[in-house]
């Protein structure tokens, strides 16, 4: 293989066209876009022409092409399992948008098929590469927050009824705001706090009139006893949502707005104190504004593609690999079970 991984894209419209192709595959030094395919042949032809790729007539033709090393799946969630198995059968590495699988069985099948074929399998958790999140992770690992006690991750948007939108049909997408947005939030909190132990989830439809939920709130308990809150909504105007990340510990907090999402920037402030302070009955707050955290922004889509491509070139597991994808599926499945039964579900 050359020093560049040759990519094919299945599902070239949508997020692939808006973000992953121009900002990721085209931008990454170790990646090259070779071919695209989409059910909408007109759109696919436009995308291929725009980015200098070959428009394939079918998924089968793209997967059988000897000019392609890896495929990026940006298709409805219900198709991820079969497309991954087909890609593995043709010795293609797979970067799959989340959710990796709709069930634990699907995720296991996908992992086994890729392992048997000797190809890499990854999942599209590009937000873990965000420069602000990585800087916060460094501070957490250095013990700046002391003992972590609580995390909150919020990702919401306004998503009105759209004819044919697969995210609004649980059969096609597996669920609504929790399935589409919650995976990113839970993945981020596990990055900071470690594995989730139990989940308790509530979902519902308060505004949007479609079959998938437009409201989801999840309570997490991590293995070390710390706790997490994840809220995902499809029913609040975009400008009204801060998409917050909040990390609290015995020695302070890290508070961010706008870092959870598709943009490479946002705001992040740390409020840190020395341990062992005496009880303050007045509960006075620090009014100094805290420590501004502002690392050089990076494009998360470029970082995601570059990491997965380099893992292929170096024959190692990517940091956004199959284990992370399968873990996410396990947690999301447990969340929906909790919402359905009203019980706390232990993983």
DSSP code of 24? I
DSSP code of 45? H
- State the alpha helices, DSSP H only, in 151-205: 170-173, 177, 183-193
Residue 278 pLDDT: 63
Chain CA centroid to CA 208, Å = 23
Whether 160 and 207 map to the same domain: the answer is yes
- State the alpha helices, DSSP H only, in 52-125: 59-64, 80-89, 104-117
Whether 95 and 238 map to the same domain: the answer is no
Instruction: Residue 113: give its domain's CATH number.
Output: 3.40.50.720
Whether 208 and 286 map to the same domain: the answer is yes
User: Which tens digits make up the pLDDT trace of 243-270?
Assistant: 999 999 999 999 999 999 999 999 999 9
For residue 325, tell me if it sits in a domain: no
Instruction: Residue 234: give its domain's CATH number.
Output: 3.30.360.10
Whether 54 and 185 map to the same domain: the answer is no
Whether 53 and 177 map to the same domain: the answer is no
CA-based max dimension of the chain: 70
Whether 48 and 146 map to the same domain: the answer is no
Contacts of 89 (CB under 8 A, 6+ apart): 63, 113, 117
d(CA 253, CA 151): 10
Report how many domains make up the chain.
2
Could you tell me the residue range of the domain that residue 273 belongs to?
127-298+330-346
The pLDDT of residue 2 is above 80: no
User: Which tens digits make up the pLDDT trace of 92-141?
Assistant: 999 999 999 999 999 999 999 999 999 999 999 999 999 999 999 999 99
Whether 141 and 268 map to the same domain: the answer is yes
Copy the structure tokens of residue 39: 């059910």
Confidence of residue 276 (pLDDT cuts 50, 70, 90): low
For residue 324, tell me if it sits in a domain: no
Interior angle at CA 88, CA 318 and CA 120, nearest 5: 10
pTM: predicted TM-score of the whole model, two decimal places: 0.95
The pLDDT of residue 284 is above 70: no
User: Which tens digits make up the pLDDT trace of 295-344?
Assistant: 999 999 999 999 999 999 999 999 999 999 999 999 999 999 999 999 99
Residue 129 pLDDT: 98
For a pLDDT cut of 90, what percent of the chain falls above it? 95
Partner residues linked to 54 by β-bridges:
35
Confidence of residue 289 (pLDDT cuts 50, 70, 90): confident
Whether 80 and 9 map to the same domain: the answer is yes
Whether 136 and 61 map to the same domain: the answer is no
């Amino acid at each position: 293989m050359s020093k560049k991984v040759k990519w094919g894209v299945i599902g070239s419209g949508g997020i692939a066209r808006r973000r992953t192709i121009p900002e990721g595959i085209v931008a990454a030094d170790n990646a090259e876009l070779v071919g695209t395919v989409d059910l909408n042949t007109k759109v696919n032809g436009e995308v291929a022409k725009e980015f200098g790729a070959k428009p394939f007539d079918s998924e089968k033709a793209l997967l059988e092409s000897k000019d392609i090393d890896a495929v990026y799946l940006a298709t409805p969630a219900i198709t991820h399992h079969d497309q991954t198995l087909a890609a593995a059968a043709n010795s293609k590495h797979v970067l799959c948008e989340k959710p990796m699988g709709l069930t634990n069985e699907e995720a296991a099948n996908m992992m086994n098929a890729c392992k048997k074929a000797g190809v890499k399998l990854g999942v599209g958790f590009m937000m873990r590469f965000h420069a602000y999140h990585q800087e916060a992770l460094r501070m957490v690992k250095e013990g700046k927050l002391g003992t972590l006690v609580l995390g909150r991750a919020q990702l919401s948007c306004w998503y009105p009824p759209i004819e044919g939108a697969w995210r609004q049909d649980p059969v096609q997408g597996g669920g609504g705001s929790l399935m589409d947005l919650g995976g990113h939030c839970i993945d981020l909190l596990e990055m900071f706090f470690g594995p989730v132990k139990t989940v308790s989830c509530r979902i519902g439809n308060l505004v949007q009139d479609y079959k998938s939920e437009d409201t989801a709130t999840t309570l997490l308990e991590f293995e070390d006893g710390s706790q997490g809150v994840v809220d995902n909504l499809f029913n609040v105007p975009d400008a009204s949502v801060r998409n917050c990340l909040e990390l609290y510990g015995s020695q302070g907090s890290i508070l961010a707005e706008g870092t959870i999402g598709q943009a490479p920037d946002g705001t992040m402030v740390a409020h840190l104190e020395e341990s062992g302070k005496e009880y303050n009955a007045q509960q006075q707050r620090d009014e100094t504004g805290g420590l501004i955290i502002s690392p050089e922004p990076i494009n998360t889509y470029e970082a995601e593609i570059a990491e997965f491509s380099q893992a292929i070139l170096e024959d190692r597991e990517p940091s956004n690999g199959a284990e992370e994808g399968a873990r996410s599926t396990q947690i999301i499945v447990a969340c929906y079970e909790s919402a359905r039964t009203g019980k706390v579900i232990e993983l």
